Homo-oligomer: A and B are copies of this chain.
């Protein structure tokens, strides 16, 4: 039984519909600062609107001219005969602020701002952005930008953009909505899409998002039945909460999202990570966020342009894989083994397996008269490049249960003889199994025919592999026990460190096993009776010391009472020398704990994406190889096991070769427990790291022997 929406939901839906209308389908627009020179940036919007035959009312505003581009110009927004629904402000920075204020006064619904000089421009720019926010709060005006190259609705013929690549008529409309942090990229997406038969319903350059974020804008368009999918060009994960909310809503509407995000190289360059505090902004954080939101991610520009038709045909998998779930499989049929291997190679590098056909499938191929060798590729070289052989092979493959997707790769015949091996692909376009095509030679006519028939097709082997891998790895959004934004910090490096005893108390509350610990006053003259046997570790106990080893605050392998007193003395001397401001009044004594290996688990309220949990192999190799797995927090046990499976450095603990297996079940439970910092009551934790977490043999558990926790203040 469907629950009817409550009042608040109804109001939110209404606000969203009104926003979408004013943003993308306004009945009247003003262009504030419209130039009389169509070659200038500020001259383009009016030219484009007229070129596209926009049906609404257009009011050019130019305080110095009576006419622009041969039309009447108005001296100000206030002078217009009506309040326009949407104003595109293409003036300089200061005039833009004034125009926004005027929009607010008049009751304009949406203002899109071209000027830069705001959030990216230091303190003065931030002050200007605050002026804009003030208008928004006081008047209810919504702003796109600043630094926005505009908003385009191709079906509505709303060409509210200053991007040079839109100077073209007619521009065919399609069913994809594109949103970009980079204004230049909307021109690249449009023009590259045009060249491939990929059409857009609309495109928006979101600029610096002082008000409307990319996620909010996209969410406002979700009710539009003419939009079937979303193409995102991202430079950061700013406003990740809105992006996630949009992604979840899009999944409910069954509208796929494909994203390209800059910033892979940050991960490649930054080798050293001293603690989870450095996670923010790194590429694997973005990857984990996209995966948990059900957003498919590509690495190549062509993969972004060409990928959505395929993505729309591949159903998202369940959000958390079953332990015995088989990885997705691609069946490949080709007239050229070398050409097909160009796709197989990057697919395999991305972890997508190319499996040979089953015995049943081979038998069906043979029954259809197709002679192939039993190999990973169905290579039609022996069968010949003929319509009949390709068609028969495809008919068998699209019905073969072992494949999640069928890829057809056609060689040189595709250029001048598409009737031979491209036509049969087109004739299989209606199959229920996802089908994709890569043509090895330059074959624009055949590609266009495939596009017209609705067969996803690709111009480069890299984009083909990229899009297939993105589509096959996409999962439904993982629903979290609480909104991930609940604990979003934004507190940066501020926060208060707990001392180690306080940290252990928190671990006890979470149910994560840790080594027993005894605090001793550093002024003792006799060693106390310890509740555990020697050898022990002795550590300075003071919240002010985060990295104890760096200040000589740790002595390991202490063998007896005498050595214990000496260690305490040594620690006091060392810390006094390194950190004269801190008096070490207590030390923590713990037994030395042995296990099969060390791991590191961490939690962080990430600046961008909110609570995250991480697992890595311990030791210096974690940093050197950047080998770790991340998820939005909290996670369940199945997800924790999937995370462990992603860390290559944990392979030895799974019983590699003749090594004994560690208690990975207990490790998974510890990950789940730590991730619950996102949802439990009590002071909000900014970051927590257990390093090392000792993994003992199977069924003997894991033991934390050191940990750090920073609270939000």
Contact surface of A with B, Cβ cutoff 8 Å? 39, 116, 163-168, 180-185, 187-188, 190-192, 194-195, 233, 235, 262-272, 274-275, 299-302, 335-339, 341-342, 344-349, 353-354, 373, 375-377, 379, 381, 385, 411-413, 415-417, 440-444, 460-462, 549-550, 620-621, 624-625, 627, 648-649, 651-652, 656-659
Contacts and interface: CB of A to CB of B under 8 A. Distances in A.
A339 B300 contact: no
B375 A181 contact: no
A220 to B, nearest CB: 23
Contacts of A271: 337, 341, 344, 375-377
A298 to B, nearest CB: 11
Contacts of A443: 191
Nearest to A442: B191
This chain's copy number in the assembly: 2
Contacts of A347: 265, 267
Given A191-B441, A441-B192, A624-B652, A412 B163 contact: yes
Nearest to A117: B382
B441 A188 contact: yes
Given A182-B338, A184-B338, A267-B348, A441 B165 contact: yes
Nearest to A269: B348
Contacts of A441: 165, 187-188, 190-192
A523 to B, nearest CB: 29
Given A271-B377, A275-B338, A348-B268, A648 B625 contact: yes
A233 to B, nearest CB: 7
A262 B182 contact: no
13 contacts: A184-B440, A185-B338, A188-B339, A188-B411, A190-B441, A262-B338, A265-B348, A266-B348, A268-B344, A271-B377, A274-B375, A550-B658, A620-B656
A651 B619 CA distance: 13
A448 to B, nearest CB: 14
Nearest to A195: B442
A709 B625 CA distance: 31
A472 to B, nearest CB: 15
A706 to B, nearest CB: 17
A681 B575 CA distance: 60
Nearest to A161: B412
A301 to B, nearest CB: 6
Nearest to A384: B41
A338 B625 contact: no
A336 B377 contact: no
A375 B277 CA distance: 13
A71 B264 CA distance: 61
Contacts of A649: 621, 624-625
A651 to B, nearest CB: 5
A416 B167 contact: yes
Given A165-B416, A625-B625, 11 more contacts: A164-B385, A165-B413, A165-B415, A191-B443, A264-B345, A264-B346, A265-B349, A267-B348, A300-B460, A301-B462, A620-B656
Given A191-B441, A300-B460, A416 B274 contact: no
Among A187, A266, A270, A274, find the residue whose CB has the most chain B CB atoms closer than 10 A.
Answer: A187
A290 B260 CA distance: 32
Nearest to A338: B182
B412 A345 contact: no
B267 A376 contact: yes
Contact of A164 (B274, B413, B461): B413
A262 B341 contact: yes
Contacts of A385: 164
A20 B339 CA distance: 28
A337 B116 CA distance: 13
Contacts of A272: 341
Which 8 A-B pairs rank lowest in CB-CB distance, beginning with the nearest? A182-B338, A187-B412, A184-B336, A265-B348, A165-B412, A267-B348, A184-B411, A268-B345
Contacts of A550: 658
A440 B187 contact: yes
A336 B621 CA distance: 38
A377 B270 CA distance: 11
Contacts of A377: 271, 275
Nearest to A617: B621
Contacts of A187: 411-412, 415, 440-441
A652 B624 CA distance: 9
A192 B440 CA distance: 9
Contacts of A190: 441
Contacts of A620: 651-652, 656-657, 659
A373 B185 CA distance: 21
A377 B275 CA distance: 9
Given A263-B345, A267-B348, A344-B271, A339 B185 contact: yes
Among A184, A191, A342, A346, find the residue whose CB has the most chain B CB atoms closer than 10 A.
Answer: A184
A58 to B, nearest CB: 22
Given A337-B182, A460-B301, A621-B621, A440 B375 contact: no
Given A233-B338, A235-B341, A415 B164 contact: yes
